[in-house]
Amino acid sequence: MYFYKYIVDNYTSIFINISVPESLKKEVLVKVRSLSIFIKNKINKLNDVLVHDPLFINVYSLVFFYLDSFSQSLNYIRCSGGELDKDRLDLIYNNELEYIDALDFNFFQYLARRLPRQVYRLP
């Protein structure tokens, strides 16, 4: 588990150093960590409900999978010639919160079945 946390933290740091303007680095880091915690808590709540059939998936690996998607949203703005500013960052963040909140159990089951074997948690 700690290995994936290490990957998530390093991925975030590398992405922010390369892709985010200096003035927004701290803000993006806070939002990315907040989104990571939000999705991690959602998965943990699902696992609490699913006592007989928990999702055998490492939470940090799923967060890492998600961070890749979030960083692509930020990179799209940069690559399309736009500037990432606080308003756009807030808009992306709020959209992502709504998106994660709307995800249902089937989505997590889908990911649990399709993530590579090495990220599965041993039962």
Mean pLDDT of 20-29: 78
pTM (predicted TM-score): 0.59
Residue-wise DSSP of the chain: -HHHHHHHHHHHHHHHHHHS-GGGHHHHHHHHHHHHHHHHHHHHHHHHH-SSS---S-HHHHHHHHHHHHHHHHHHHHHTT----HHHHHHHHHHHHHHHHH--HHHHHHHHHHS-GGGPPP-
For residue 122, tell me if it sits in a domain: no
pLDDT, tens digit (0-9, with 9 covering 90-100), for 90-104? 888 888 788 777 777
Provide the domain limits for residue 60: 2-117
**Residue 123 within any structural domain of the chain:** no
* Number of domains within the chain: 1
pLDDT-derived band at 118 (thresholds 50, 70, 90) equals very low
Query: Would 22 be classed as within a structural domain?
Result: yes
